[in-house]
Structure 1
């Protein structure tokens, strides 16, 4: 049976998975991200290729923007030296295997569309609410990449013109209001401290406090969910998708806010739309990366 190496590259860790053609993970390995990234990545992959000699290809999901055709990282500011790297060409030369690479949010979306909550839908958007706000668009089973690999950059839709400065250099981007980083900023602005540790509370604690009736936490949650619902409504107006899948670290606390979130979305829908929680957690990017070749 065909085996693909799926690789999910994040800012702090890299996850490798040997995945068969049915989407089953045969081997799962996580290592810390180290710079310079490319030689370290190649070293890890060559060792896995030695242990698993039947690998037939390598799929990679990475943070940043990717030209999926050429396999070049076109934009990435956090991983120093990664931008401009010809990952596909270099890895194919080093391993002799077919290599495909795409943005990590696109890969997570592909996993949900092929194997997860959206597998019975034709037009799918997957939103990952983690440190930032990522998005992947899957139409008829294929990733929509855009001309420069920038399609699906939902976090950089401008939500509040002239608002918070974003890492992209513009102001008011969506991920400055709907993301884990945004919640941490807002928590500090409201001086919300853990009564036991004296440290800033975490986003999942914020939602728990809101569920328990904390007035300030409820107000923050209300704004967060209203902003998130507007983002989805705007995406529907442009793309007319039939399913939205919500994943990422922040979504892990969704049991405290999911029903309220659906209530916020309902009056903003232009057409029928299914909104679902992601099937896969941290393994979504790695699985989706393997799906690039399956």
Structure 2
């Protein structure tokens, strides 16, 4: 899929996740909107995967350490054919597989995640096993920036560098907001790039809502032989919905009927513009 088509796809995924959250009356809206471009680049362009064989041994692995922002992932897995799209209507309902965090009863999910600070350690283990078994798959781990206050993240970072896991890619959704406000007010993280570099990772800082930059960066991995890569994806919380962008309140806010209609109209216009560009109109 070309970059323009990926941009249109990301707009559609944002529409789908908002509709799903609105129907369920629950969900982590802001972070799912901010990470949509990252996941779209990975699942439609970069990662090796086969929805008809979700346990294919050579597949690339994806771990959503910031598991609370699962809504974009559910919509993408459904769109890629890992499970029927109709099932999105059951999100967070009684008896559903599509709960508020990744659930490995669903095809395409490697691990139950969402206890923040655990995803990178799991990813280190997967990447190390690939090296030991001479397997060619890569492991992508998406973390939140608020999650960087967890000590276990830094223990895993040390291990990833120690074992020279250049098949391991950490991604930080750096939207600078968490549930209780600014990350720098809750627990200051900067200079975050320098900290990861000091732990032995090759750090690439990009606009995490720029599809061209995402694809270019992910396709250049490994960015340094013998080093894991950390992609600092600087994003906008609530990206794509004008009244939700950079508003901490939208971390766990559900759009009402009017807000949903406004958001869908905005995103439909964006999607249409990219579809016209792709058609050369």
State the TM-score, normalized to the length of structure 2. 0.34
- More relative contact order, 1 or 2 (CA 8 Å, 6+ apart): 2
State the TM-score, normalized to the length of structure 1. 0.33
Rg (Cα) greater in structure: 1
Structure with the bigger percentage of helix: 2
